[in-house]
Amino acid sequence: MTQRKKGSLDVLVPRGLVGSGEAVLSASAKEDGLCALRISWESGQISGLEAIKKEDASSLKLLLPRLLEPHAHIDKAFSWNDFPNFKGSYEDALKANLQEHKNRTSQIVFGRADRSLTIAVKNGCRAIRSHIDSFGYFADPIWEALLELRKKWHALIELQLVALAPLEYWNTREGDLLASRLGREGGLLGGVLAPPFNRELSSDLLAQMLKLANQYNCGIDLHIDESDTEPAVGLNQLVQVLDHNEVNVSITCSHASSMGLLSPVDLRRLSERLAHHHVNVIALPLTNFWLLGRQSKTTPLLRPLAPISQLQKAGVRVAIGGDNVQDSWFPAGTFDPLALMSFSMPLTQLAPWQRRGLAPFTTSAAAVMDLKWDGIVRIGSPADFVLLEASSWSEALSKPPQRKVLINGNWLDETIIPKTNPIEHLN
């Protein structure tokens, strides 16, 4: 890989993503939160940051740290055509998913995952966390294939893998073996906790899962309370288990949708308990709005979604993810965090020119994913950017903009990524 020694760009950068520094303090941010900067890099790292006069900033393009996808399912992406779900319900999605299991092979899953990463890298992602259906006869060969895939792509994108299995699975010998493997390979334990609940059993199973995660030092990322009934029962069970079990791994709750249906008092109490236990939340507005609150021939008015702002206020780290892409759970999606930001705006009323609106896609997502780089642009941080063909947030979010991707100081050549080994094709 040839490393360009030096480079520099005059760009607009969200002020909240710029580390403090004398030169940057003099940069005035406009109401849209963007400030004009000259960013220089050398040997793959930022070597200089300099404020640019406001009057010179009108033609500058928007630059972001490379993007993140904290919650995906690359093992089933693009399977909609073969396993569609025209009714659009959660139950029918699950049925189609189980049908798909009967046909999956490691080659098929490798192909879907490889395609997912190709698109994600072109869109400017630097890390993606994907849940992988990990039970049954296909689990082992698929893990082999995906670990191979992770190696293939590691210079361009960090792939985090979560083993998605029924909670009961983590109480079996196979589950123990898989957890020990995840510990060695840097994977996470996953599972689903949603209605109908068997409260006593699921508390025991959660405790067992936490024990396993501690033993093998694996993080946990649960699909929890992805429902429009029995508000936050799963989350309440989790915090009760956490009250009685010491945990030294990171815990993330994906969805937490029905929590949004709690009364304000209960919601605040639970948010505080989640913050107390350092539990992260990943909100997934697209699949929640598509699957939940469905009633035949009725426009839904009940919109279960993680209460993002209330959680942030209580001190919980919240990221926003895309979830499914073109499978039985969601027919659309593109592995494009900018498109997700745009679609999420009317659903969450979060705007990227506000710190708490941008963080779920950038710094908070990096923290939830426990990434080495927090995504703050400062001297010494990686020259890892997405340069958008847009001069304002409005332009960037009106349609997914053209973009150029800079990885460790090298511009990505998109035309040759999908062939053979992408690492050799940076120029």
Residues that bind Zn ion (CB under 5 A): 323
Task: Provide CB contacts within 8 A for 179, sequence distance 6+.
Answer: 163, 170, 189, 212, 213, 215, 216, 218
Do the beta carbons of residue 149 and residue 114 sit within 8 Å? yes
User: From the CB of 324, what's the least distance to Zn ion, in Å?
Assistant: 6
Nearer residue to Zn ion within complex by CB, 69 or 323? 323
Best CA proximity match to 387, nearest among 398, 400, 402 = 402
User: From the CB of 323, what's the least distance to Zn ion, in Å?
Assistant: 5
Nearer residue to Zn ion within complex by CB, 361 or 385? 361
Nearer residue to Zn ion within complex by CB, 90 or 138? 90
User: From the CB of 253, what's the least distance to Zn ion, in Å?
Assistant: 12
Nearer residue to Zn ion within complex by CB, 65 or 322? 322
Sheet holding 188-193, edge to edge: 67-72, 125-133, 158-164, 188-193, 220-224, 251-255, 279-283, 318-320
User: From the CB of 254, what's the least distance to Zn ion, in Å?
Assistant: 6
User: From the CB of 284, what's the least distance to Zn ion, in Å?
Assistant: 6
For residue 306, the number of C-alpha atoms closer than 13 Å in the C-beta half-sphere is: 33
Residue 145 in tokens = 């294939």
Nearer residue to Zn ion within complex by CB, 290 or 353? 290
Long-range contact pairs involving 168-176 (C-beta distance under 8 Å, separation at least 24): 168/205, 169/135, 170/205, 170/208, 170/209, 170/212, 171/205, 171/208, 171/209, 174/135, 175/212, 176/212
Closest-by-Cβ residue to Zn ion is 323
Nearer residue to Zn ion within complex by CB, 25 or 332? 332
Nearer residue to Zn ion within complex by CB, 66 or 76? 76
56 DSSP assignment = G
User: From the CB of 156, what's the least distance to Zn ion, in Å?
Assistant: 23
Task: Provide CB contacts within 8 A for 97, sequence distance 6+.
Answer: 76, 83, 133, 327, 328, 329
191 DSSP assignment = E
User: From the CB of 264, what's the least distance to Zn ion, in Å?
Assistant: 27
| Strand-strand pairing, 34-42 and 6-14 | antiparallel
